[in-house]
């Protein structure tokens, strides 16, 4: 499962957003948690809703993301002159596929900012420094280890070590100049070489600005995601009609959490495919570039192992066919209209594909 981590300084509203996403109801406030909170969040998808309305299955299953709420207390070094993130926290971060930085914008005297000021851009910079220092420390330790190892290795083995040192020195210089490893000029081969390090500034990162209810409706910069985590948590207790009315009263817009989830999915380069039938209509996520057998493996390992071929139709074509002839005849109608095709092992699954896997084990 794809895992995203919520990071941020203490009292940024990180756990409140976690509750809004997952419905976990974790306590918030001054009792900073020391262990990660874990939960899952469904990725809202209008395509899944429409396919489910057509097939009326016994079960509808959305794609889900694993969400981890990391302790805010671990990010206090740059901000408050405390200790850098612990080894345990850095290890937890390194296992995540993407980071979501929750930045405090709301002002509340009862919940003081740990730096005793509200400055979102300063918090963004401070978090970036935390992650950069962690990567620089990792590079320094690796360089020291290589220096010790090369004292006793043969000359023939020194070439690979020298190549690694050269790459690490370049990364070190780039980080020192204020860059991240996401924007470092590296070849595909070099990116593969450093993947096992699991550098933090190489992780895709989304920034969410957590505002107060009184700040909702104010214009945001292009591409900036702004929401009120407290409002979104509270609205989980409302029915859809009540929530819509309250949003309209606050001029908050609709679907803030859904927008954040979709932005995370886009950040990760995920694609969604569907399986349909009377028992279940389900959405699945894969990486861009994954092939039909890999997609089959998301459903069940036996399907990937015994993959023969996949019957593929676009979700909207299938929906149109189903509306014309009914769900039971939708796939046959798609074949009749030449909108369904057979694909083999090299086919890269596209976002919005509906797959029927043929296999033999």
Q: Span 110-132, mean pLDDT?
A: 91
51/246: higher pLDDT: 51
Are the CB atoms for 310 and 342 separated by under 8 Å?
Answer: yes
Q: What distances in angstroms separate CA 140 from CA 71, 168, 297, one per listed residue?
A: 26, 9, 39
What is the band of 41 on the pLDDT scale with cuts at 50, 70, 90? Answer: very high
Residue 83 within any structural domain of the chain = no
pLDDT at residue 2 in the model: 84
- pLDDT tens digit sequence for 306-358: 999 999 999 999 999 999 999 999 999 999 999 999 999 999 999 999 999 99
Residue 343 within any structural domain of the chain = yes
pLDDT at residue 107 in the model: 93
Percent of the chain with pLDDT over 90: 66
Percent of the chain with pLDDT over 70: 96
Residue 317 within any structural domain of the chain = yes
pLDDT at residue 30 in the model: 58
Q: Span 276-291, mean pLDDT?
A: 95
- pLDDT tens digit sequence for 50-104: 999 999 999 999 999 999 999 887 776 566 556 677 888 888 898 999 999 999 9
Are the CB atoms for 102 and 17 separated by under 8 Å?
Answer: yes
pLDDT at residue 78 in the model: 60
pLDDT at residue 332 in the model: 96
123/224: higher pLDDT: 123
Taking Cα atoms as reference points, which of 243, 228, 254, 252 lies closest to residue 16? 228
Lowest mean pLDDT, pick from 66-75, 203-212, 296-305 = 66-75
pLDDT at residue 80 in the model: 57
Q: How many domains does the chain have?
A: 1
pLDDT at residue 303 in the model: 97
In terms of residue numbers, what domain contains 302?
A: 289-359
**For strand 225-227 and strand 205-210, is the pairing parallel, antiparallel, or unpaired?**
parallel
Residue 209 within any structural domain of the chain = no
Question: Is residue 145 helix, strand or coil?
Answer: helix
User: At 328, which CATH number?
Assistant: 3.10.20.30
Among 146-150, 197-201, 254-258, the range of highest mean pLDDT = 197-201
pLDDT at residue 127 in the model: 93
pLDDT at residue 106 in the model: 95
Taking Cα atoms as reference points, which of 317, 323, 295, 320 lies closest to residue 307? 295
pLDDT at residue 33 in the model: 66
Q: Whole-angstrom Cα distance, residue 77 to residue 243?
A: 39
Residue 342 within any structural domain of the chain = yes
What is the band of 305 on the pLDDT scale with cuts at 50, 70, 90? Answer: very high
pLDDT of 31 over the 70 cut: no
pLDDT at residue 76 in the model: 64
Q: Span 296-303, mean pLDDT?
A: 96
Residue 239 within any structural domain of the chain = no
User: What pTM value is reported for the model?
Assistant: 0.85
Residue 183 within any structural domain of the chain = no
Are the CB atoms for 78 and 130 separated by under 8 Å?
Answer: yes
Residue 59 within any structural domain of the chain = no
Dihedral sign, CA of 30, 96, 270, 285?
negative
Mean pLDDT of the chain: 90
Residues in CB range of 182: below 8 A, 6 or more apart: 201, 202, 203, 204, 205
């Amino acid at each position: 499962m794809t895992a995203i981590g919520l990071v941020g300084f203490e009292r940024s509203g990180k756990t409140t957003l976690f509750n809004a996403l997952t419905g976990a109801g974790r306590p918030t406030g001054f009792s900073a948690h020391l262990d990660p909170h874990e939960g899952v969040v469904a990725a809202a998808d209008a395509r899944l809703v429409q396919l489910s309305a057509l097939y009326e299955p016994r079960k509808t299953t959305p794609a889900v993301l694993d969400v981890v709420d990391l302790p805010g207390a671990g990010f206090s070094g740059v901000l408050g002159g405390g200790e850098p993130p612990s080894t345990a926290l850095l290890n937890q971060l390194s296992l995540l596929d993407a980071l979501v930085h929750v930045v405090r914008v709301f002002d509340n005297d009862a919940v003081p900012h740990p730096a005793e000021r509200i400055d979102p851009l300063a918090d963004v910079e401070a978090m970036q420094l935390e992650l950069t220092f962690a990567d620089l420390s990792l590079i320094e330790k690796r360089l020291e280890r290589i220096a010790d190892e090369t004292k006793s290795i043969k000359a023939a083995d020194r070439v690979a070590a020298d190549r690694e040192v050269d790459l690490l020195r370049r990364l070190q210089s780039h980080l020192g100049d204020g860059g991240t490893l996401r924007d470092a000029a590296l070849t595909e081969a070099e990116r593969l070489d450093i993947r096992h390090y699991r550098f933090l500034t190489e992780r895709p990162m989304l920034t969410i600005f957590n505002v107060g209810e009184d700040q909702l409706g104010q214009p945001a910069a292009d591409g900036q995601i702004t929401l009120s985590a407290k409002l979104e948590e509270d609205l989980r207790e409302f029915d859809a009609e009540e929530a819509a009315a309250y949003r309209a009263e606050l001029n908050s817009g609709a679907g803030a959490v859904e927008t954040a989830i979709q932005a995370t999915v886009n950040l990760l380069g995920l694609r969604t495919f569907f399986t349909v039938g009377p028992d279940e209509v389900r959405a699945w996520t894969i990486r861009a570039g994954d092939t039909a057998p890999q997609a089959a493996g998301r459903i069940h390992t036996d399907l990937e192992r015994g993959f023969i071929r996949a019957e593929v139709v676009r979700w909207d074509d299938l929906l149109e066919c189903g509306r014309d002839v009914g769900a039971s005849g939708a796939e046959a109608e798609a074949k009749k209209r030449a909108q369904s095709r057979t694909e083999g092992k090299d086919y890269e699954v596209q976002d919005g594909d509906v797959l029927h896997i043929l296999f033999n084990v």
